[in-house]
Amino acid sequence: MYPKILFSILLSMQLLQAGEYAIISNKSIRTLSKSQIKAIYLKKLTIIDDKKIIPINLDSRNILREKFNKEFLHISLTKLKTYWIKQHYLGHRPPLSFKSQKSVKKFIEQVDASIGYIELKNINKNLSIVYKWSD
């Protein structure tokens, strides 16, 4: 009896903690597939809907950045750093990084064709969802 109650409580807590996240833009970008988002953040894909797209990252120590990497890039931060050194030889730069979701939102609201990722609960009416995922 008790183990069942305990299990139910733990499961409920887990569900409550499961976060929902979104790739956002300022309404100028259409919805994108997972592989397109990966290509944008690796700077393999730079134009969407005839606009130069600007991907925005959170700081490398941010937990949401880790979740994003796991969901879309499938690559460790060390390997990603190596990737960008190789890209330096090919003439490509890593995406800009911001410290907080607040600054990501502010940038995206002001800069056309920029995209970033934040928690779903932090979205406002000026932003549109390009892709949504959860833990």
Partner 1 sequence: MYKILIILLLGFYLHAQDKYELGNGVQISSYPIYLGGYFSVDYRNMNNENRYRLDDVALLSYGNYDKFSYMAEVEYKQLYIKTYTQDTSFSSSDTNLYLERLYADYNYNENYMFRVGKYNSPIGFWNLLPINVLRDTTSFPYIIKNIFPDFTTGLNLSYTSFENDEIKINVMLQHNEDLDDNYNNYKIDAHYGFGILYEKEQYSLKLNAGYFNRADTQDILKNRNYILLSGKYETEKFQLMSELGYQSSKNKTTTPYSSYIQGSYRFRPKHLGVLRVESYKNRLTNIKDSLAIFGYTYRPIYPISFKSEYQFHSIKRENKALISLSVMF
Interacting residue ranges for partner 1, rule: CB under 8 A:
33, 35-36, 38-39, 44-50, 52, 74, 76, 78-79, 81-82, 84-86, 88-91, 93
Residues 6+ apart with CB under 8 A from 97: 56, 57, 58, 59, 60
Q: Shortest distance, CB of residue 54 to partner 1, whole angstroms?
A: 11
Instruction: Write out the two tokens for 86.
Output: 């190789």
Residue with Cβ nearer partner 1 (2 or 89): 89
Residue with Cβ nearer partner 1 (86 or 125): 86
Owner of token pair 């995209």: 115
Residue with Cβ nearer partner 1 (73 or 123): 73
